Chains A and B, each alone.
Chain A
Amino acid sequence: MEFQLPEINLQLMAPEIFLFLWALAVMAFDVTTKRKSSSTAGNLALVGLAVTGVIMVFTDQGRGFGNMFFNDSMAVFFKVIFLAAAFMAIGSSFGLTHTRILNHRGEYFGLILLSTVGMMFLASSSELISLYIGLELTTIPLFVLAAFFKDDRKSVEAGIKYLVVGAFSSALLLYGLSFIYGLTGTTDIAQIRSILAHSAVAGFNPAYQESTPIMVMAVLAILGGIGFKLALPPFHQWVPDVYEGAPTPITAFLSVGSKAAGLVAFAKIMIMGLYDLYDPSKAPNDWGILVGVMAAAAMIVGNVLAIRQTNIKRMLAYSSIAHAGYVMVGMLALNSLGLASVGYYMFAYLFTNMGAFAIVALIEDRTGSCEIASYAGLSKTSPFLAISMTIFLLSLTGIPPLAGFFGKFYVFAAAIKMAETGSGLTWIYWLVGVGLVTSVFALYYYANVMRTMYFVETDSPLKVTMSPMAVAVIVIGVVGVVVFGLNPQPIVQFASDMPAALGALLP
């Protein structure tokens, strides 16, 4: 029996392979050594991430395993975000004196690395099956990490909730993908697109610009599946509980890394594969308006419910729902600026959110409290934390000249540019309007935290002892937010290759 292997090009996935082996090494190291020094496994994990970054610089772009692995500029951009998010999450776990982490250091850091590997595979996949497996590789370690504090009811609850929701959303996504496969006869995303564009078969008829009911069902199922991962309403209810219960560095990693992974999956399936169902130049923009409604709902629900929260982790959870809405506005703008604005937004969000959660983690570890009220008087006892937190919150609100402002600016600019091109696209103006109005709500609840830190008098202000690694992460966050806010050009330049990369996958 003769058979032909596809061209494998293993060297293209050198970063992923290295990080995978390194994650195993971190876990093996922790098992084989006596648990004396507290930080060796974490240090090893940080070194591994840094080396992976260096390897990525020397890795070419191209295809491997036939057409299944595709290291394009979009993949590289998102891989940088994943690596940076993992780096900052591990850094902010470092200072934690939690014995519950310390007892399983190897597995804790190893699973963060393995989840990162999954995200990197996801970003490189150009085919539905490997994309789905990449998504599972991302989320399965996160189930375990969310439930890592086994003697904490809330953490276990977070783990189980995330597991159930994750499994459900995966099943929904898979259901939708199987319809797409049934209609087009291929799992290759570029081929799916060309079949939908060029022939009047399957679930879509270009001549009439309408989708058949089966295609509608497929799109609904896929949007549901990805909507869960991105926490877009009405699939957002799990977010506050999981974010509150999970260990804080893991919450941070969930809110940035996992969200970016969901965005990659969305870009690959919906924009790359099902583009012709949402052609901006033609009238019934099938899934566009649906995603638009979900994004508007995310901005409204996230920002309005965040106002009532007294727990800072829950507040940031709702704010992350709102931010998912803002990102999706940029995602809907299918012009040269659209995807680039999404990339910039995620970069800004990475520094801002990871930094903010690093502070929350530090304070939670030292005082055991996540209540916003307990932040009273922080400006007197540790001005460094108060000032950094203020910078992060201002960036989340979108105050110039911080990175968060330019993120929102680019996203809205891309959407308006898009709305100007088509006649049936006036709803995008409404979407931008909703975004601008809800940003004002956001100012209210972020400012409330600042007010508590600076102006509320208290008899027993927080006393926080620093840990060097946590300080380093916070400093990285502040520097990122300020520098990339004052000078957004390098990131925008870096991100501007992405739309072309989506096109490059076409046959």
Chain B
Amino acid sequence: MNLDTVIFIVSAVVAVFGATMMIAQRNPVASVLYLILSLVAQAVCYVQLSALFLGAILVVVYAGAIMVLFLFVIMLLNLRGSEDLGQPPKALSRFTKYTIGILMTLELVFIIKGAPLKAMATGLIGKAPDGFGSVEQVARLMFTDYLYPFELTGVLLLIAVVGAVVVAKSRKPGDPEETQTEETAGTNTNEAGS
């Protein structure tokens, strides 16, 4: 077992562990911290695949900027652990949930075990070409071959901004503000409880 394999196994296990803990937590702050852990581990996997630039971006943008924003939002909303997330789920729903989850996982394991990885398209497995994953290569793809999806993503971001403003904008002055916050909290409870 060489060093590469060891690094991969460790980072893969950490990534899956982080993702699992993230959804298992009832405290949102802990959830976000586990997500950051998972993202950093994923970045290590990226680097191992020679995608150095993508790995760096993942850490800087996702684990860094976006997750910090998440933390800020959670703190501003003042969500504190289980009391804000409603009752813990009922035994029956928990049973179904875990059974289906375990079955799906077993299925995935069997599928991946049975997959003839060697039979995949030639050129997909093997050593990456020179300069693969460099800033230059990524930029070249983004602004030539994939220019169209890149431009569409710009449109998507604009729509997301408009949508966020519509959803978040407080109502006209004079309207009672309290009903709104009450409702938002109520919906959160429903969502977590269901």
Please give me the residue from chain A that is nearest to B194 by CB atom: A161
User: Do B115 and A213 touch (CB < 8 A)?
Assistant: yes
Residues on the A chain within 8 Å of B111, using CB: 213-214, 216-217
Within 8 A of A (CB), among B96-153: 108, 110-112, 114-116, 119-124, 136, 140, 143-149, 152-153
Given contacts A130-B148, A216-B111, contact A185 B156 (CB under 8 A): no
Please give me the residue from chain A that is nearest to B153 by CB atom: A133
User: Could you say which of A5, A136, A156 contacts B147, with CB atoms under 8 Å apart?
Assistant: A5
- Of the A-B pairs whose beta carbons lie under 8 Å apart in the complex, a sample of 8, sorted by A's number, is A5-B147, A20-B155, A64-B148, A107-B166, A114-B159, A143-B163, A144-B162, A157-B190
Given contacts A140-B159, A157-B190, A183-B121, contact A111 B166 (CB under 8 A): yes
User: Do B115 and A201 touch (CB < 8 A)?
Assistant: no
User: Do B191 and A164 touch (CB < 8 A)?
Assistant: yes
Residues on the B chain within 8 Å of A202, using CB: 119-121
Measured CA separation A199–B183 after assembly (Å)? 57
User: Do A133 and B149 touch (CB < 8 A)?
Assistant: yes
Chain A residues close to B by CB (< 8 Å) = 1, 3-6, 8, 20, 27, 64-66, 68-69, 103-104, 107, 110-111, 114, 117-118, 121, 127, 129-130, 133-134, 136-137, 140-141, 143-144, 147-148, 150-151, 153, 156-157, 159-160, 164, 182-185, 195, 199-202, 212-214, 216-217
Measured CA separation A213–B148 after assembly (Å)? 33
Residues on the A chain within 8 Å of B124, using CB: 182, 185
Main secondary structure of the interface of A (DSSP, over half): helix
User: Do A140 and B163 touch (CB < 8 A)?
Assistant: yes
Measured CA separation A349–B185 after assembly (Å)? 38
User: Do B148 and A111 touch (CB < 8 A)?
Assistant: no
Residues on the A chain within 8 Å of B119, using CB: 200-202, 212
Chain B residues close to A by CB (< 8 Å) = 108, 110-112, 114-116, 119-124, 136, 140, 143-149, 152-153, 155-156, 159-160, 162-163, 165-167, 169, 171-172, 179-180, 183-184, 186-187, 190-191
Please give me the residue from chain B that is nearest to A66 by CB atom: B145
Measured CA separation A111–B143 after assembly (Å)? 28
Residues on the A chain within 8 Å of B144, using CB: 3-6
User: Do B163 and A141 touch (CB < 8 A)?
Assistant: yes
Residues on the B chain within 8 Å of A66, using CB: 145, 148
User: Could you say which of B110, B162, B184 contacts A107, with CB atoms under 8 Å apart?
Assistant: B162
Measured CA separation A4–B147 after assembly (Å)? 12
Residues on the B chain within 8 Å of A182, using CB: 120, 124
User: Do A130 and B152 touch (CB < 8 A)?
Assistant: yes
Measured CA separation A182–B190 after assembly (Å)? 39
Please give me the residue from chain B that is nearest to A129 by CB atom: B149
Measured CA separation A216–B149 after assembly (Å)? 27
Question: Chain A nearest CB: distance from B22 CB in Å?
Answer: 14
Given contacts A65-B147, A137-B159, contact A160 B191 (CB under 8 A): yes
User: Do A212 and B159 touch (CB < 8 A)?
Assistant: no
Given contacts A27-B162, A65-B147, contact A3 B115 (CB under 8 A): no
User: Do A201 and B122 touch (CB < 8 A)?
Assistant: yes
Measured CA separation A5–B145 after assembly (Å)? 7
Interface centre among B136, B149, B165, B187 (most CB of A within 10 A): B149
User: Could you say which of A114, A129, A201 contacts B146, with CB atoms under 8 Å apart?
Assistant: A129
Kindly list 16 other residue pairs between chains A and B, CB separation below 8 angstroms, not including A65-B147, A117-B155, A143-B163: A1-B140, A69-B148, A114-B159, A118-B159, A130-B149, A144-B167, A147-B167, A150-B171, A153-B183, A153-B186, A185-B121, A195-B121, A201-B122, A212-B115, A213-B112, A217-B108
Measured CA separation A197–B152 after assembly (Å)? 30
User: Could you say which of A137, A144, A156, A183 contacts B156, with CB atoms under 8 Å apart?
Assistant: A137
Measured CA separation A6–B150 after assembly (Å)? 14
Please give me the residue from chain A that is nearest to B151 by CB atom: A65
Given contacts A103-B172, A156-B183, A214-B115, contact A134 B152 (CB under 8 A): yes
Please give me the residue from chain B that is nearest to A132 by CB atom: B149
Measured CA separation A3–B139 after assembly (Å)? 11
User: Could you say which of A68, A117, A213 contacts B114, with CB atoms under 8 Å apart?
Assistant: A213
Please give me the residue from chain A that is nearest to B116 by CB atom: A212
Residues on the A chain within 8 Å of B180, using CB: 150-151
Question: Chain B nearest CB: distance from A130 CB in Å?
Answer: 5
Residues on the A chain within 8 Å of B115, using CB: 212-214
Measured CA separation A195–B123 after assembly (Å)? 14
User: Do A183 and B120 touch (CB < 8 A)?
Assistant: yes
Residues on the B chain within 8 Å of A121, using CB: 152
User: Do B148 and A68 touch (CB < 8 A)?
Assistant: yes
Residues on the B chain within 8 Å of A157, using CB: 187, 190
Question: Chain B nearest CB: distance from A253 CB in Å?
Answer: 15
User: Do A140 and B120 touch (CB < 8 A)?
Assistant: no
Please give me the residue from chain A that is nearest to B122 by CB atom: A201
Residues on the B chain within 8 Å of A147, using CB: 167
Measured CA separation A150–B168 after assembly (Å)? 10
Measured CA separation A213–B172 after assembly (Å)? 56
Residues on the A chain within 8 Å of B121, using CB: 183-185, 195, 199, 201-202
Measured CA separation A199–B186 after assembly (Å)? 55
User: Do A185 and B146 touch (CB < 8 A)?
Assistant: no
Given contacts A1-B136, A153-B183, contact A111 B147 (CB under 8 A): no
Question: Chain B nearest CB: distance from A167 CB in Å?
Answer: 12
